[in-house]
């Protein structure tokens, strides 16, 4: 089993190293990750310029490759021949904040899993809920533990084609997490605020600020599972079609 480990926070992010170490008992691990932080980059691909890849060392001395492209570029390059052997499975993370509900449309962590699914590979995205108000320090040990458990299940049982898993772990010590539940995607509530400033030349510039997001936490959703102290495992698919609306829309005179 050849496992590609990647992320969107940059190749030296501590969550990436924790995930790589957790995957090593399961097979051969290759690490390809961005050379800087690409959080909230979404699913992007670079076609307008060449991509540069460099060998680097992680904090434990292990070898990795860094790419100056977007997170999903790293996956695309690895699957198209950058590595000497094509990966069998892609694992992305560990993101230091949760990627649940509407977050998945922004998340570079989830985009990496999506890129793998487009190429027909099983994939898992792993995040920890570091924005939880009770989380004083983001620790990756519990998320790495559950990430390995989920990936082992995928190795043993597979996934349907073009389906990938989004795993979110509470910011709690391992012994305080109540277990894993399979969930549906919930709904995020954003409290974004437009902040206007003036630069030294009198020109306006803007920040998108505001309070951390919340969520509508129904019990069977990823948002609800994390709030209750459980690991959320959400199966996602590439098909975004609202199938129930096809018949309704077809009745209209377009």
For the chain, domains (ranges, CATH) are 2-187+216-250 (3.40.1210.10)
For 201, phi and psi rounded to 5 degrees? -100, 10
Which residue reads 């690490």 in tokens?
Answer: 31
Question: What sign for the dihedral angle of Cα 99, 100, 105, 106?
Answer: negative
| CB neighbour class for 96 (10 Å; exposed up to 12, middle 13-18, buried from 19) | buried
Asked if omega into 94 is within 30° of 0 (cis), the reply is yes
C-alpha–C-alpha distance, residues 187 and 190, integer Å: 10
Q: How many CB atoms lie within 10 A of CB 169?
A: 30
Tens digit of each residue's pLDDT, the chain (254 residues) = 999 999 999 999 999 999 999 999 999 999 999 999 999 999 999 999 999 999 999 999 999 999 999 999 999 999 999 999 999 999 999 999 999 999 999 999 999 999 999 999 999 999 999 877 677 788 899 999 999 999 999 999 999 999 999 999 999 999 999 999 999 999 988 899 999 999 999 999 999 998 888 888 788 999 999 999 999 999 999 999 999 999 999 999 98
Provide the 8-state DSSP code for 243. Answer: T
Interhelix angle 14-23/141-157, rounded to 10 degrees, is: 40
Quick check: 135 and 127 in contact, CB under 8 A?
no
Beta bridge partners, 6, equal: 92
Predicted TM-score of the model (pTM) = 0.93
């Amino acid at each position: 089993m050849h496992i590609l480990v990647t992320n969107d926070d940059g190749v030296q992010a501590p969550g990436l190293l924790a995930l790589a170490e957790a995957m090593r008992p399961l097979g051969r691990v290759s690490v390809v990750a961005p050379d800087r932080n690409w959080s909230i980059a979404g699913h992007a691909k670079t076609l307008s310029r060449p991509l540069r890849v460099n060998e680097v060392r992680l904090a434990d001395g292990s070898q990795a490759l860094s790419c100056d492209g977007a997170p999903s570029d790293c996956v695309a390059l690895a699957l198209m021949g950058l590595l000497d052997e094509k990966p069998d499975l892609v694992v992305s993370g560990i993101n230091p904040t949760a990627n649940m509900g509407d977050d998945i449309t922004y998340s570079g962590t989830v985009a990496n899993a999506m890129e793998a699914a487009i190429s027909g590979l099983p994939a898992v995205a792993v995040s920890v809920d570091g924005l939880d108000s009770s989380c004083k320090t983001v620790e990756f040990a519990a998320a790495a533990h559950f990430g390995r458990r989920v990936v082992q299940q995928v190795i043993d049982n597979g996934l349907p084609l073009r389906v990938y898993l989004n795993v979110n772990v509470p910011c709690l010590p391992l012994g305080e997490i109540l277990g894993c539940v399979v969930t549906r995607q919930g709904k995020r509530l954003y409290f974004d605020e437009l902040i206007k400033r003036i630069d030294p030349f009198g020109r306006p510039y803007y920040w998108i600020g505001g309070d951390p997001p919340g969520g509508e936490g129904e019990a069977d959703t990823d948002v609800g599972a994390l709030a209750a102290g459980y690991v959320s495992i959400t199966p996602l698919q590439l098909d975004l079609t609202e199938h129930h609306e096809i018949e309704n829309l077809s009745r209209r005179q377009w």
